[in-house]
Chains A and B, each alone.
Chain A
Amino acid sequence: DRQTLVAVLQFLRRSNLRESEEILRREARLLGDDLGGNVATVASSSPAVAAVAAVPPGKGGARGGTAGSLPRAAGRHLCRDPRGLGGPCASCSLGGFGGSVVVEDQPDVSAVLSAYNQQGDPTLYEEYYSGLKHFIECSLDCHRAELSQLFYPLFVHMYLELVYNQHESEAKSFFERFHGDQECYYQDDLRVLSSLTKKEHMKGNETMLDFRTSKFVLRISRDSYQLLKRHLQEKQNNQIWNIVQEHLYIDIFDGMPRSKQQIDAMVGSLAGEAKREANKAKVFFGLLKEPEFDVPLDDEDEEGENEEGKPKKKKPKKDSVGSKSKKQDPNAPPQNRIPLPELKDSDKLDKVMNMKEAARRVRLGPECLPSICFYTFLNAYQGLTAVDITDDSSMIVGGFADSTVRVWSVTPKKLRSVKTAADLSLIDKESDDVLERIMDEKTASELKILYGHSGPVYGTSFSPDRNYLLSCSEDGTVRLWSLQTFTCLVGYKGHNYPVWDTQFSPYGYYFVSGGHDRVARLWATDHYQPLRIFAGHLADVTCTRFHPNSNYVATGSADRTIRLWDVLNGNCVRIFTGHKGPIHSLAFSPNGRFLATGATDGRVLLWDIGHGLMVGELKGHTDTVYALRFSRDGEILASGSMDNTVRLWDAVKAFEDLETDDFTTATGHINLPENSQDLLLGTYMTKSTPVVHLHFTRRNLLLAAGAYSSQ
């Protein structure tokens, strides 16, 4: 009877009897609820109920709440808008982030899984696909590039539909025939796809499930879209039209069709490109104002005293706000937008040191390249998995595959731990060098080893005040270590799966971590549970970085997108697509306006955060880019890669003369100049050491780190 219920629902849907369908669905949902949502019924034949049951039991309460909205959303989602997917569907489905996405995802699951039941004749799939292929190849040149974007998502969805409906042989022959036509950068996905030959295989693969339930976004100009729609509707290719409507989101823009080169730059992610409205939210990319403080210290610091204490590092071409101005930068977040820890005396001392060093900083540029000092980890037996260097370049930490965390002192000053409590009570607390006296000389050593993790350590991060160290590991925990006692203080458990990256906020207190469970979490050191959960990626979160103003977090993921999240409310404010492989490095420019990203495809992409556009592409590396860093004033971008090189790029030139007028922001793409060669200032090879970490000292000396690998 469940099957008949579903069949009736589908019939009503096909006949556009929406209201009766809603009523029946509502009652059927109640029935579904009563029958229990246990996961074990996945093997049941009714896909709609299976979808309901596939929701984990923990969601029972939530489901009750959303049951009312489910029929409404389902009805809207499946509306057969004769004008195509342009307007109304865009507004009703999958718009917005954060709050409302859950409701739309639930109908997505059930609707999509049951949509897969509307099968055309499986043997005709190949004909449909080749018919479309023929049409696209015969279309005008200017439209062909855009319409070719359809091939990949259609191919995958048709293949999955065949597999889901258990037409194994047809699926296999469909795959054999057409998988070679796809773009080269999809080959990894296709390989995974080729291993999914049965319906049961699909259930275990979270990434594939996410792919099916999220809509693949395509950006097509209006002319090309009209062409496509006319063809699909007149040829009665209902199957393809169904799939287009169910699984693809076509973001139409008015303007010139894009060229193949432009398209190739932007596509590649698991979910297509980003919708334009995904990148429309206002982002406060300005820097927070440095607080004024009097520095009544030594007499030598008089020059520091007179300034306002604002080491504003701005790019030469930045327009309005000067460093002494008291005007609020319109692009900067309000000071109290998110609570930040107050400045302690030790922090103020640190800032003064920073300013003094900044005064002696070397100004870099194409004529004045930085010197590079490379720290090679010897005898690491390929176990080095993470490196970090403190801001003042005094300590370096390495995370290893044998689950240890090792801290070295880079300066001649050794690492000491604090004295025991017994000895501490003996010292004179009023003396000036009490900070030295609390240190126990007997424990001085250059290396400290921290034991505690039970799996390889994949990410490490020093706190800005150098009191704490974070490390995250494959065992699913993030550990906070004290650098005064060199012991572990807290283990933050939240991810139950490997945590790939973690980083402290530039002001301390907050830190972010991202892992295999496809979310990034924001923590504070004094809360044992995360404060924010950034969910939305389709695959593992491999890289997490804070914006310099600590209000935003950028996450790079194995689904080949970068998302920018707002710390205040957890919303995703930017989605950047264009990489063709998992992202492994992110770097914000010091002025907060730009983001540089590196991935396994060897390209470094530059993004304008305010407008949400890709503004540069730096080609040159031949292997994964694992390290990216802007110089202290943002003039040079350094990138380090698995191909054993460090490359320096001219950031000033890359960001000047950007044509970010209304037209480009409306269409969402920009003409990228092919100027990678002009921007490359130098390539520096190591003998055979992949570069894992880069760091500019306060005086703009570049430090690099990696483990010597003998092959």
Chain B
Amino acid sequence: MEPAKMASPKSAPKDAQVMAQILKDMGITEYEPRVINQMLEFAYRYVTTILEDAKIYSSHAKKSSVDADDVRLAIQCRTDQSFTSPPPRDFLLDIARQKNQTPLPLIKPYSGPRLPPDRYCLTAPNYRLKSLQKKVSSSAGRITVPRLSVGAVSSRPSTPTLGTPSAQAVSVSTKVGTPVSLTGQRFTVQIPSSQAAVKSATPTTPTVQNVLINPSLIGPKNILITTNMVSSQNASNESNALKRKHEDDDDYDNL
């Protein structure tokens, strides 16, 4: 038994010497010594997998022993699985030809940050805060803070601002039960509603006062900080529940 773990080249196991020779043949001269171990591990694992597969194939074919055809078949199947190679050249040329035939799309002017539709962006929040339904005040007005969406204009009607109630059309909405499905960087904060400007919407009716966020936030300097241009009004409240059904799943939260 080899007492030394760090074998010098002379006393390295034969497999390690073979691996070092392979590396040398392929022109790799500089490598850390652990590379040989990693390569050997890979080689053992690969060969074992292939041979096991080959055994299965040969027993399936009711052969008495594993032969070269089984091994070949095993290699082929594994190659398709684990080692994918880039598409062949004619395929690439074909799709290139198709793609390059369409003319370049025109660019809409002044459309803010030019990003793909929201579902292809990574701008959606990946968390959601649970609603507090058990509060005493049934008019658990949820005051949602406006979202800073750097993304495109969202399709959902907005949630309102938390703003000092100014003379403009800023009001706090009550939103009960309706999930705040969001696109854009938004977060909702639960505050027991005690705002004076609460409309007298009853808690049962999931009416949302859609509030127009100051469009003047689109400053003259063209930094588009939208907090959701709202276009739809109450009529779309119901659609809140219908849209994005897959995200309307905190009904179970509401008990």
Q: Is the CB of B25 within 8 A of A194?
A: yes
Distance of B57 from chain A, by nearest CB (Å): 14
Q: Does A301 contact B (CB under 8 A)?
A: no
Contacts of B86 in A (CB 8 A): 206, 496-497, 516-518
Binding site for A on B (CB under 8 A): 25-27, 72, 75-76, 79-80, 83-97, 99-100, 102, 104-107, 109-110, 113-117, 120-123, 145-148, 150-151, 161-163, 185-186, 213-214, 216-217, 219-223, 225, 227
Contacts of B95 in A (CB 8 A): 533, 535
A523 to B121, CA, bound (A): 15
Contacts of A342 in B (CB 8 A): 107, 109-110
Contacts of B145 in A (CB 8 A): 420-422
Q: Does A490 contact B (CB under 8 A)?
A: yes
Q: Is the CB of A418 within 8 A of B25?
A: no
A524 to B120, CA, bound (A): 13
Binding site for B on A (CB under 8 A): 39-40, 42-43, 54-56, 58-59, 62, 98-99, 101-102, 105-106, 109, 188, 191, 194-195, 200, 204, 206, 209-210, 213-214, 338-342, 344-346, 418, 420-422, 424-426, 429, 434-435, 438, 452, 467, 480, 482, 484-485, 487-491, 496-497, 509, 516-519, 524-528, 530-536, 538, 567-571
A584 to B78, CA, bound (A): 34
- Closest residue of chain A to B163 (Cβ to Cβ) is A425
Contacts of A527 in B (CB 8 A): 105, 116
Contacts of A55 in B (CB 8 A): 88, 90-91
Q: Is the CB of A102 within 8 A of B97?
A: yes
Selected from B27, B120, B222, the residue in CB contact (under 8 A) with A528 is B120
Selected from B107, B161, B216, B219, the residue in CB contact (under 8 A) with A339 is B107
Contacts of B114 in A (CB 8 A): 341, 509, 524-526
Contacts of A487 in B (CB 8 A): 123, 185
Contacts of B161 in A (CB 8 A): 425
Distance of B84 from chain A, by nearest CB (Å): 8
Given contacts A420-B148, A489-B150, are A204 and B115 in contact (CB under 8 A)? Answer: no
Contacts of A534 in B (CB 8 A): 96
Selected from A43, A345, A421, the residue in CB contact (under 8 A) with B76 is A43
A101 to B163, CA, bound (A): 62
Q: Is the CB of B100 within 8 A of A569?
A: yes
Given contacts A421-B146, A425-B227, A485-B185, are A98 and B90 in contact (CB under 8 A)? Answer: no
Contacts of B213 in A (CB 8 A): 425
A497 to B92, CA, bound (A): 14
Contacts of A516 in B (CB 8 A): 86
- Closest residue of chain A to B162 (Cβ to Cβ) is A422
- Closest residue of chain A to B148 (Cβ to Cβ) is A421
Distance of A531 from chain B, by nearest CB (Å): 6
- Closest residue of chain B to A452 (Cβ to Cβ) is B122
Selected from A191, A345, A346, A533, the residue in CB contact (under 8 A) with B27 is A191
- Closest residue of chain B to A482 (Cβ to Cβ) is B150
A56 to B87, CA, bound (A): 9
Q: Is the CB of A489 within 8 A of B217?
A: no
- Closest residue of chain B to A536 (Cβ to Cβ) is B93
In the complex, 8 of the A-B residue pairs with CB atoms within 8 angstroms, ordered by the A residue number, are: A106-B90, A188-B27, A209-B89, A426-B163, A429-B214, A531-B104, A535-B93, A567-B104
Selected from A59, A204, A209, the residue in CB contact (under 8 A) with B79 is A204
- Closest residue of chain A to B75 (Cβ to Cβ) is A200
A185 to B16, CA, bound (A): 31
- Closest residue of chain A to B89 (Cβ to Cβ) is A210
- Closest residue of chain A to B145 (Cβ to Cβ) is A422
Q: Is the CB of A59 within 8 A of B217?
A: no
A432 to B25, CA, bound (A): 67
Given contacts A424-B217, A425-B163, A434-B221, are A509 and B107 in contact (CB under 8 A)? Answer: yes
Contacts of B116 in A (CB 8 A): 490, 525-528
A474 to B51, CA, bound (A): 31
Contacts of A429 in B (CB 8 A): 214, 216-217, 219
The 9 closest A-B pairs by CB, nearest first: A570-B100, A421-B148, A535-B96, A528-B120, A526-B114, A517-B86, A533-B96, A535-B92, A528-B116
Contacts of A341 in B (CB 8 A): 107, 109, 114
A568 to B102, CA, bound (A): 10
Selected from B72, B92, B105, B109, the residue in CB contact (under 8 A) with A531 is B105
A360 to B60, CA, bound (A): 80
A438 to B122, CA, bound (A): 23
Given contacts A102-B97, A467-B113, 8 further A-B contacts (CB under 8 A): A39-B80, A102-B90, A339-B105, A488-B122, A526-B116, A527-B105, A535-B93, A570-B100
Distance of B33 from chain A, by nearest CB (Å): 15
A435 to B217, CA, bound (A): 12
Distance of A482 from chain B, by nearest CB (Å): 6
A592 to B213, CA, bound (A): 46
Distance of B21 from chain A, by nearest CB (Å): 13
A204 to B85, CA, bound (A): 7
Pick from A55, A509, A519 the residue with the most CB of B within 10 Å.
A519
Q: Is the CB of A490 within 8 A of B121?
A: yes
A485 to B148, CA, bound (A): 10
Contacts of B93 in A (CB 8 A): 101-102, 105, 535-536
Contacts of B227 in A (CB 8 A): 421, 424-425
Distance of A200 from chain B, by nearest CB (Å): 8
Contacts of B90 in A (CB 8 A): 55, 59, 102, 105-106, 109, 213
Q: Is the CB of A489 within 8 A of B25?
A: no
Distance of B236 from chain A, by nearest CB (Å): 21
A655 to B159, CA, bound (A): 62
Given contacts A206-B86, A517-B92, A526-B115, are A491 and B225 in contact (CB under 8 A)? Answer: no
Contacts of A517 in B (CB 8 A): 86-87, 92
Pick from A344, A418, A535 the residue with the most CB of B within 10 Å.
A535
A62 to B149, CA, bound (A): 43
A421 to B110, CA, bound (A): 22
Distance of B202 from chain A, by nearest CB (Å): 28
Contacts of A467 in B (CB 8 A): 113
Contacts of B122 in A (CB 8 A): 452, 488-491
A346 to B223, CA, bound (A): 9
Distance of A224 from chain B, by nearest CB (Å): 31
Given contacts A191-B27, A490-B120, are A424 and B104 in contact (CB under 8 A)? Answer: no
Q: Is the CB of B99 within 8 A of A58?
A: no
